[in-house]
Amino acid sequence: MTVDFYKYHALGNDYIILDPNKTALPLTAETIRLLCHRHFGIGSDGILYGPFFQEDGIHLRILNPDGSEAEKSGNGIRMFARYLFDAGYLKDSSFDLFTPGGKVGVEILDARASLIKVNMGTATFSSTAIPVAGPDREVVAEPLSVLGCSYAITCLSVGNPHCVIPLPDISRELAEQLGPVIENHPLFPHRINLQLLKVLDRSTIQIEIWERGAGYTLASGSSSCAAASAAYRLGLIDRNVTVIMPGGTLRIALTITGDIYMTGPVTAVYQGTLSETLLSRS
């Protein structure tokens, strides 16, 4: 059996796309881990599985490299929109896409679908919605002690859970040190994504990212939305901000109505088939 797959990246955040309308590959946790492995498989930050056409519209599943499922991925949504465009599924440049983390509005901004804008919905700082353990509250500038240090964390959900820590200096090394500890901290019953935030000015922030189920990541759309939302809630930025990540930049607009708009690029990498030999190992 040969299986078609497609690979895209958004600012270095790369995903494999498997289309259930073109392949019957059973996606077990073991198969997902193998395909995402950068030495034994194709290598990626996750798998976008879809489209699934239902009465209300197009649905997408987002699978992490460890075999778990994510509610939402901003970069993943843009990559999947580009795939829908490339595969000829789209009739209009604007459409709705359904993820486990909610419905998003997508707009393709150019003729090659290389620049895509997404309405990522709204942010909530409610501990119950995120979730964060303890009494129902908004988790804003709350102290958390890890690895012998105390940090002021602001937690929120933009369809998936995030923990944002503002710091004067950030680095990959610190993200890799704090990431696995905070991701799996008992305060977060569903685990959590971590963003280390440095505010450069009222319209520019910089982040380092540790993603739940994936690890250190060069770029993340939902992380950018979360970091911008947290920074705005803390009074550190204005409504329109550029988010700088190791893989590149995204534009985030926080509207008066609460909607979060993310605009950024997508690049097609390659497509191919999986060999029977590889599949027999999964």
Q: Which string of b and e fits 195-217 if b means at least 16 CB within 10 Å? A: bbbbbeeeeebbbbbbbbbbbbb
Q: 212: annotated binding-site residue?
A: yes
**DSSP secondary structure string for all residues of 79-99:** HHHHHHHHTT--SSSEEEEEE
What is the average pLDDT value for the chain, to the nearest integer? 95
- Model confidence at 27, pLDDT cuts 50, 70, 90, reads confident
* Domain coverage including residue 155: 142-258
19-22: which pairs have CB atoms within 8 A and are 24 or more residues apart? 19/50, 19/51, 19/83, 19/87, 20/49, 20/50, 20/51, 20/52, 21/51
Q: 88: annotated binding-site residue?
A: no
Q: 75: annotated binding-site residue?
A: yes
The CATH number of the domain where 168 resides is what? 3.10.310.10
Domain match, 111 and 157 both: no
Helices (H) and strands (E) in the chain — how many of each? 5, 18
Give the pair of three-digit tokens for residue 162: 């995030």
Domain match, 215 and 250 both: yes
How many CB atoms are located within 10 Å of the residue 255 CB? 12
User: By the 8 A CB rule, do 6 and 28 touch?
Assistant: no
CA distance 264 to 246: 14
Q: 193: annotated binding-site residue?
A: yes
User: By the 8 A CB rule, do 101 and 160 touch?
Assistant: yes
Q: 13: annotated binding-site residue?
A: yes
Q: 50: annotated binding-site residue?
A: no
For the cut 60, the answer to whether the pLDDT of residue 51 exceeds it is yes
Domain match, 161 and 242 both: yes
Domain match, 25 and 9 both: yes
**178: helix, coil or strand?**
helix
Q: Where do runs of H (alpha helix) occur along the chain?
A: 29-36, 74-86, 172-183, 221-233, 276-280
- pLDDT at position 279 is 67
Q: 102: annotated binding-site residue?
A: no
Q: 119: annotated binding-site residue?
A: no
Q: What is the DSSP letter of 215?
A: E
How many CB atoms are located within 10 Å of the residue 110 CB? 10
Whether residue 164 lies inside any domain: the answer is yes
Q: 240: annotated binding-site residue?
A: no
**Least confident range of 20-29, 204-213, 255-264:** 20-29
> What total number of domains does the chain contain?
2
Whether residue 108 lies inside any domain: the answer is yes
Using alpha carbons, list the distances in angstroms from residue 239 to 16, 25, 148, 246, 256: 33, 43, 34, 22, 8
For the cut 90, the answer to whether the pLDDT of residue 1 exceeds it is no
Whether residue 180 lies inside any domain: the answer is yes
Model confidence pLDDT, tens digit, residues 118-161? 999 999 999 999 999 999 999 999 999 999 999 999 999 999 99
Give the pair of three-digit tokens for residue 215: 């690890």
